[in-house]
Each structure stands twice: as C-alpha cells, then as structure tokens.
Chain A
Amino acid sequence: MKKIYVSTAAAVMAAAVSMVSVFAAVGSSITVKTDKSEVSYTYKAGDNNEAKADASKLFGNFRNASKDDFTTENFTITSKTQNGSNIEVALLVEAAAVSEDYSPLDYYSFVITAENGDVLYDSAAEGASDVSATSKEIPFGKFNTQYTTDTKKFAVDYKINSDVAAKIDEETLAGVTVSVISHIVKAVPAATDAPAAEADDYTVEVAASDPEEVVAAASTATAAPAAAASPTPEAIEVNEVKKVCGKDMTAGRYLVSGNGIVRIEGADGSLKSETTVTDGSNSGVDGVGAFVASIVDGDIITAAPLPGKEKPLVKFEKTNSPTSPASASVAASNTNTNANSTKAAAKATAAPTAKPKTASKSNPKTGEDSAEIAWICSLMAAMAAGVVGLEIVKRKKVN
C-alpha cells in the first residue's frame, strides 16, 4: 500500500512539474518588427534550445536589393522569458555549398548597428565565408540578461554582393534563406528539486504587411541608425535593480513614472539625481508622479523599492509627447518635448542658412564707451577751475 501511495505521489509531482514547465514556457516569445513591414510568423521551438523563422519578408524587396547601396531596415526585437533564460538572437543565413570559388552565404552583405551606434556585425570586416560552410549567423546579441522583457533596436543594412551575384546561378540563389534564430544561452533550473524545465516554446512573431504591400514599400537607403528613425516611444518596464545607459537602454530623455526610488549616477559614480516616484497608492510616501530625466551613455540608473515594498516598479518611457501626463502627485511631474517639437521649433529661429550672410556683417563693439565720461570729467574740472579763477580775478580787482 505504501508503494502505491509513493508511486501515485511521484506521478502527481511529475505531472505538476510538467504543468509548471508548460506554463513557464507559455508567454515566452520573441517579436521582431520593422517600421515598414507587418508579417507575422509563429512557430514552436525545436531541439537544441533554439527556434527560427523565415525573415526574408522583413527586408522589403529582398531578392531585388541594390548591389551598389545599402538598404536599411530598422528592427525592433523584443524577447520575453518567464524563467530567466538568456536568449541570443541572430540572423541565420543558410545555403548549400556549391563551389570552391565562393560561398552563397555571402550573397547578401549585412551591417548590423545597435541603437547606441555600435557596429555589431559588418560583412566587409568579417571577410568571405568558408566555401564549405552551409550556414552563418549574424548576431544581434544577447537578450534578457537583466530583464524578463527585453527590447532592443537595430539598424540592419543590407545589399547584394555583386561579386557573388556574378557567379551564383538561379537554382543556388533560390536555396539561400535568411531566418531569425534564437538560442537559449543560459537555462535557469526550476526552483524545486524536480528535473530542469524543458526548453521554452518560442513564438517568433515577425510583423510585416501583406506581400503586395511589402513589395510596394521599397526601402529607401539611409545610413541613420535605428534610434533616429524610430516613430514610436520606447517603453521598458523595470523590475530589476540596475541599468546602464548605452548598454541596457539608450541615451535620451525619459518620462519616469511608477513606484520606486530612482537614482541616477554618472559613469564616474557621481550622483546626478535621486527621485522618489509614486502613483499615489503608497500612503506616507512623498514623491512625484513622474519626472523627466535626461540620461547619457554611461549613466547608471538604479531603482530601489519604496519603503515597505519588496521591489520597485518603475517605467522609463522616451518622451515625444508635447503634453504632460495627468498626475495626481506633486506638480513637479512634467514631461519634456524633443527640442525639435513643433512648439519649440516655432519659437526657435530658422537655421542660419536661411539668413543670408552678408559681407558687411560687423563685429559688435562690446567695449565700454568711456570717452563720454572722460569728457564730462574734463568739463567738470574745467568748470571748477573757471569758477575758482574768476573768483581770484574778482578779488584782485576789489583790492
């Protein structure tokens, strides 16, 4: 009887662990979006803790890309994990090895630039692929090292390598595929003594338009990094303690709200500001509903919990809105606009090139005109001397 109970208990525990694994996996996802295309892909993870999906539709008219100039697509990649795994995301180029002279993997040249301007990958610097290789990965880097929801932006420049294009045939070209691939780098064991959870199921959603719209919306070449072209505000939920600007978030102005004590330090450790934000639900806590912080590369942002709370929940949102958010707290809650906003631009003058520079522009005289004072003092002295002199003359005449 005892053995039956033990066996039953073990089976129930195993089932429970499996359920936990499933529920832990549900909600883990990677989303890749561009600002022109809207194509959605979903798939489940395969073996080896990795998953991939076709990414060709992210690149507009991929097959007819330019051979001369780079075309830029701005990628926004969001990775969500439930169990704390780190995820590496990359572009995966696959093709059969067909020649000893070239590799079809080099048909496309890529340059991947992070939002902070760091070049993560450059085909020109990497050199030609091994002619026997059948795949190569072009990394976007590691996600979820600090956050369960991690969003990063990249500028992906691509063009056709004319040297390879001259050699490749149509059949081989048809076999060149580009996918988005993700790997679990660090699997976090389950909190119980049960066996480690299985690999997450990944759902990769790639947002793009219908194929017709994708073809019509041909990319225009631009060298601007993704940060400059992003049309939507960046929002990051901070449940963690520390972020470093330039590494974990981009520089810029952020509207900071939520509940926590936000401390911003410079790269040298000097304290720049320390502000308590609260949504008003924490009695006895003095703070602001929101404030705007300008953060530059190297700054260290720390969010500590409010008194009596276990963890902070602070939101940093890049501000593009011209109006302040409503706030029930202190009037110090402001939002700021980009200095190039409509209202600011209306007050700012036109660029100097709109004003013709004339050859006769003079250098303003910024010295003090003391000649006038000197004349006045001289005149006073002369008048005083005149009064005294005339008095002497008068007295001589009397005598």
Chain B
Amino acid sequence: MKRKLTLIQILFLCVFIICGGILVKYYLEKNSTEKEMEDLREALVLPDRNAEGEDDAPKAETWEADGILTRYHSLYEQNNDMAGWIQIDGTVIDYPVLYNGESNAFYLHRNFNKENSDAGIPFLDYQCDRAGNSDNMIVYGHNMRNGTMFHDLLKYADQDFYNEHKYVRFDTVYNRCVYEVFAAFRVRVGSKDEFRYYDFINSDTTEAYDAYVSSCKAHSLYDTGITPSYREKLLTLSTCSYNSGNERFVIVARLTEKI
C-alpha cells in the first residue's frame, strides 16, 4: 500500500515538474520576443547625424534603387514580408509590421523570422495594399499581458492620453507617414450589431467613405473634433481588449504627413 502511494506521489511530482518546465519556457519566450524586437530596432539604418554631431540636424531620408527606404532596406532583405513600421510616442509600440498577402493568420503567431511565437508580430491586413495605397490600412497586433506588442493601444481609451499623443507613425517600406488619431472605440466581434471596421479597405464612393468615418466617430469613446474627408488615407490599429469576450480595441487615424 505504501509503495502504491509512493508511486502515485512520484507521478504527481513528474507532472508538476513538466508543468513547471512549460511555464518557464513560456516566460523565457516572452523575454526573447522583446529581445528580438530590440535587435530589429538596432538593425534600422537611420540617417546619419551631421558631421558636427548636432542631434537637431538629421540628414534627409534616402531610398535604395528599388524604392525601399534605406532605413528599412536591411530588414526588408531579411524578410520581404516586411510592410512597414509602427511607432507611437508614449507607448512601447515600436515594431515592424509584416504582411502576408494570403491570410491574416500567418503572422498571428509567427515572429519576424517566420518562427512560431505566441506574441506574433504586428501585421497588415492581407487585403490592404502594402505600398500604402489602400483607403484604409489596417494593422493588427496582439495585446500581451506583459505589456508588449499592442497592449499600450488601450491607453487611447483615456482621452487625456489621446490629447497628449494624437499622432501615430506608420511607415510603409516606401514612405514615412504620420497619422492623426480621430476615433478610439471598442467592438464586440460576432455581436448582432457588430461594426465590421475590418471590412473597409477601399471606397469607390464618397458615401461609403463617409459612412465608415461616421461609424468610427459614432462608436468613439470621445469626440476628437476631426472628420476626415473622402480620399484622406486612413490607418486602423486593432487589438484584443480583455473587457469582455471577443472584444477589440480599435483606433483610427487619418494621414497627415507622407514623405
């Protein structure tokens, strides 16, 4: 009898150790994701400072012969799926954006090197034009509980944060672009009256465009006083919100600067 109980104890202990190993692996992977992102940021080829070393006199952007910005060319050569870069002041959001033309699922759980990764990497909607010509560029990113990826997007639920951080940078690999946030809202995916913001990519008519903008503003948590006009390019950033099941937190912005 005693022997049987001991065997059962050993079995429980083995399961305990295996579970512990899985947890350790999980947290190590989280840390390595951030390390990978740091490495990607360091791989950016930023324009040189001028000879005098003055930080307020940056050199002009340059492009390679294939039209790719020099700053992103090295990363682009590593992975041609690189579509751009997203960066928001006041947040940790400073990541490359990848693109798979076939499916939104590919980079949901893959990193920059296409290896399996729970955190995935921010990615552009497969229906968008990676050169930035779509009326609405949609970028998705995971909301990681450790505060990485698009977790900080939820800061825009606070209007005070919005007032201090109205602009979002989303570069394609061809152009540097700045967008101005005009709406921030939550959407329950699968609900009867779901606002399917992720269906709006291009509009052939003013009416369709205006309808999308109106819906964004109607759902918005606060009024920014900004109403984009037809043909103004839009950027939509989407992540999961943990407020309730299957809820998304979304911010929408309009293009204000393109180089």
Task: Report, nearest first, the 10 A-B pairs whose CB atoms are least far apart.
Answer: A336-B63, A367-B240, A344-B67, A339-B174, A383-B16, A348-B131, A273-B60, A337-B67, A294-B259, A386-B12
By size class, the interface of chain B is 35 or more
B145 CB-CB contact with A under 8 Å:
yes
Contact of B1 with A397 in the complex, beta carbons under 8 Å: yes
CA distance A337 to B5 in the complex (A): 75
Distance to closest chain B CB from A379 (angstroms)? 5
Contact of A380 with B20 in the complex, beta carbons under 8 Å: yes
Contact of A355 with B127 in the complex, beta carbons under 8 Å: yes
Residues of chain A within 8 A (CB-CB) of B2 are: 394, 397-398
Residues of chain A within 8 A (CB-CB) of B48 are: 332
Knowing that A344-B66, A387-B9 are A-B contacts, what are 8 other residue pairs whose CB atoms are under 8 Å apart, sorted by A's residue number?
A: A273-B58, A294-B60, A332-B48, A343-B67, A352-B127, A355-B127, A368-B145, A383-B15
Contact of B131 with A340 in the complex, beta carbons under 8 Å: yes
Contact of A376 with B19 in the complex, beta carbons under 8 Å: yes
Contact of A357 with B199 in the complex, beta carbons under 8 Å: yes
Residue of A nearest to B202 (CB): A352
- Cross-chain pairs A/B with CB under 8 angstroms, 20 sampled: A272-B60, A293-B60, A324-B65, A336-B62, A336-B63, A336-B64, A336-B67, A350-B129, A363-B196, A364-B104, A364-B108, A365-B108, A366-B108, A366-B239, A367-B239, A370-B145, A380-B20, A383-B12, A387-B13, A390-B9
The listed residue (A271, A286, A322) touching B65 by CB distance below 8 A is: A322
Contact code string A300-326 (vs B, CB < 8 Å = 1, else 0): 000000000000000000000011100
Contact code string A329-351 (vs B, CB < 8 Å = 1, else 0): 00010111111110111011111
Residues of chain B within 8 A (CB-CB) of A363 are: 189, 196, 198, 238, 248
For B59, B63, B238, B248, the residue with the greatest tally of chain A CB atoms inside 10 Å of its CB is: B63
By size class, the interface of chain A is 35 or more
B113 CB-CB contact with A under 8 Å:
no
Distance to closest chain B CB from A359 (angstroms)? 9
Residues of chain B within 8 A (CB-CB) of A357 are: 127, 199, 201
A275 CB-CB contact with B under 8 Å:
yes
Contact of B9 with A365 in the complex, beta carbons under 8 Å: no
Residues of B within 8 A of A (CB): 1-2, 5-6, 8-9, 12-13, 15-16, 19-20, 22-23, 26, 47-48, 50-51, 56-68, 70, 80, 99, 101, 104-105, 108, 118-120, 126-134, 140-145, 150, 172, 174-175, 189, 196, 198-199, 201-202, 238-242, 246, 248, 257, 259
A6 CB-CB contact with B under 8 Å:
no
A291 CB-CB contact with B under 8 Å:
yes
Contact of A352 with B65 in the complex, beta carbons under 8 Å: no
A214 CB-CB contact with B under 8 Å:
no
A264 CB-CB contact with B under 8 Å:
yes
Distance to closest chain A CB from B126 (angstroms)? 7
Residue of B nearest to A384 (CB): B16
Residues of chain B within 8 A (CB-CB) of A376 are: 19, 22-23
Residue of A nearest to B126 (CB): A355
Contact of A334 with B62 in the complex, beta carbons under 8 Å: yes
Contact of B101 with A292 in the complex, beta carbons under 8 Å: no
Contact of A347 with B80 in the complex, beta carbons under 8 Å: yes
CA distance A339 to B60 in the complex (A): 17
Contact of A366 with B143 in the complex, beta carbons under 8 Å: yes
Contact of A349 with B202 in the complex, beta carbons under 8 Å: no
- CB-CB under 8 A for A275 and B201, given A348-B131, A364-B140: no
Contact of B60 with A366 in the complex, beta carbons under 8 Å: no
Residues of chain A within 8 A (CB-CB) of B145 are: 368, 370
Contact of A379 with B248 in the complex, beta carbons under 8 Å: no
Residues of chain B within 8 A (CB-CB) of A291 are: 59-60, 62
The listed residue (A334, A367, A390) touching B8 by CB distance below 8 A is: A390
A1 CB-CB contact with B under 8 Å:
no
Contact of A367 with B242 in the complex, beta carbons under 8 Å: yes
Distance to closest chain B CB from A381 (angstroms)? 9
A391 CB-CB contact with B under 8 Å:
yes
- CB-CB under 8 A for A344 and B174, given A271-B56, A366-B143: yes
Residues of chain B within 8 A (CB-CB) of A323 are: 65
CA distance A344 to B173 in the complex (A): 10
Residue of B nearest to A343 (CB): B66
Residues of chain A within 8 A (CB-CB) of B20 are: 380
- CB-CB under 8 A for A387 and B12, given A294-B259, A344-B68, A352-B134: yes
- CB-CB under 8 A for A337 and B60, given A294-B259, A352-B202: no
CA distance A394 to B61 in the complex (A): 74
Residues of chain B within 8 A (CB-CB) of A350 are: 129
Distance to closest chain A CB from B100 (angstroms)? 10
Residues of chain B within 8 A (CB-CB) of A164 are: none
Residues of chain B within 8 A (CB-CB) of A220 are: none
Distance to closest chain B CB from A62 (angstroms)? 33
Residues of chain B within 8 A (CB-CB) of A352 are: 127-129, 134, 201-202
